[in-house]
Amino acid sequence: MQQVNLGMIGGGTVGSGVFHAWQKNGALLAARLGVKPVFRKIAVKSLNERRAYPIPRSLLTTDWQEVVNDPKIHIVIELVGGTGIARTMILAALAQGKTVVTANKALVSAHGEELFAAAAKHQANLYYEASVCGGIPIIKSLREGFVANRFPAIYGIVNGTCNYILTRMKLEGADFAAVLADAQKHGYAETPPDLDIDGHDAAHKTGILASLAHGFWVNPKKVYVEGIRHISALDIKFATQLGYTIKLLGIIKKAEGGQRNGGNNCRVQVSVYPTLIPDGHVLASVNDVFNAVFVRGDIVGDTLFYGRGAGKDATASAVWSDIADAALDLKNGTKLRLPPFVPHEVDGAVAPIEEVVTQYFVRFNVADKPGVLATVALIFGQSNIGISSIIQPEGHEAGSVPLIFMLHRAPHRDVLKALTIIKKLPSVKGPPVLLRVEHFE
C-alpha cells in the first residue's frame, strides 16, 4: 500500500487530537483511502508540555523547519494558530510545493488571498476545512457538494461561546456578565473572552464562507461586526414575548438591488451581529456550544449543517477530512484536483452596512410620562420607517420604563438617523439598544 508521510506543526489541544484520531482510526483511514498515512515528525513548543492526548517523544521536535524542510514529508499540517509565525510556516511549505492543511481561521481570513496565490504559484495545495465550524463539513460542501449552485443566502451560528451564553441567558433569565463568568469558570469561554463575545471569531469564519460562496476575496475589514456584550436579560425577555430568540448570526446574502450583469456579479452583505430569529425557525433551536449553518442554494434550496464547531475531536475530524483529500490527490497524481479558491465574481463587493435593509428591534429607556411614545413614533414616521408593534410594559422602576419598537424593513442608515434624533430627546434615558430581525425570506 502506498504511504503518505505527514508532518505536523503544533501538538497542543487540536494537534494532540489529530494524532489521537490517527492512533484510533489509522487502519480504517488506510483501508478507506488505499493510502497509509504515517506521522514522520511533529513540531511543538516544548517537549515536556502536557497534552490532551500523549504523543511519543520520538516524533517530537522543537524546530518547525525540520518539518517543513524534510523532503520525505508530503503533507504539512499547521495547527499553531495566529497570523504571525503560522503565515511564515505555511508560505515556506507551499514554496516547496508541499500540500498544507490548516485549521487557522484567523490566518485564512486575513491572508487567504496571499496564501492561495502562493499555492497556485508553486503548484501546491492548501486545505482549510477545519478553519470554519470544526467538525461540520461546510467548506467541502460549498466547494464540492454545491458546486452547481449560487448562494442567495447563508446564515451561520458559528461561535459556540456566544451561543452557549445566549442560550443560558434565555433559559435562566440571567444577565450577560454572570453567565460569561460561569462560562469562563467551566472552560466554555476564554480569558479574556474578547475574540468570541465581540464577534471577531465569527467574523473570521463568516468572511471565509462569503469568499467561497461568492468568488471574490472578502477583506476582513469590510465585514460589519457586533458582539453580544450589550445584550441584556431584558432584551432576551422582550424578544421571547414577541416570539423570537436572539442568536449571534453570521449573515451572507445578496444585498437588495445589488445584482448586476445577468447575475454574475453582485454586492453582498457580509455581517456578524446579534439577531432576533423567529422561534419557529430551525436556527432558533440550536443551543449551547453547538454551531449550525443554514445554506440557501439557488438549485438545491435550503439545507442545514449542524454539529460541534470547536474542540479537539471535532476539529481533528475536519483536519483528517483534508488529509484524506490531500492523500488521494497525491495517490492519483492530481495534486491540484480542487484548487483552494477559484475567483468567479470579479466585480463582487461587500455592501456597506449603511445600505443593508432589514427589520429592527429597538429598546429605549424613557421617562414614564404622557406623549413620549407618540413623539418617538412620530420621528420614526418622519424618517419613513414603519412600526409593526410596540411594547410599553408596566411595573418598572419609578419614573423610567422600557419602550420597545419592532420596525418594518428599512435601510440601516435611515434607522441610525432616526435614532440620532431620538437619543437627544430629554425623555430618553441612555443609549437605545438596536438589534436586527431576520425572517429568512
Which residues are marked as active site? 205
Q: Return the C-alpha cell found at 291.
A: 454551531
C-alpha to C-alpha distances, 275 to 151, 216, 389, 407, nearest whole angstrom: 20, 26, 17, 14
175 vs 259: CA distance, rounded Å: 42
Please report how many Cα atoms fall inside a 13 Å half-sphere around the Cα of residue 92, on the Cβ side: 18
Q: What share of the chain is helix, strand, coil (3-state, %, to 5)?
A: 40, 25, 35
Whether cis (ω within 30° of 0) applies to the bond prior to 192 is yes
> CA 397: distance to chain centroid?
39
Burial 166-187 (b: 16+ CB within 10 A, else e): bbbbbeeebebeebbebbeeee
Q: Return the C-alpha cell found at 355.
A: 445600505
Look-up of cell digits 425557525: 281
> CA 57: distance to chain centroid?
35
**What Rg value do the Cα atoms of the chain yield, rounded?**
24
* DSSP reduced 3-state for 35: strand
Q: Residue 289 in contact with residue 160, Cβ under 8 Å?
A: yes
Q: Residue 160 in contact with residue 188, Cβ under 8 Å?
A: yes
312 CB burial (10 A radius; 0-12, 13-18, 19+): buried
Q: Residue count of the chain, please give it.
A: 441
Containing H/E element for 405?
Answer: strand 400-411
Q: Residue 128 in contact with residue 107, Cβ under 8 Å?
A: no
All residues at 6 or more sequence positions from 52 whose CB lies less than 8 Å from its CB, including other chains: 12, 13, 16, 17, 20, 312
> CA 21: distance to chain centroid?
25
Measured CA angle at 341 (ends 337, 347), to 5 deg = 135
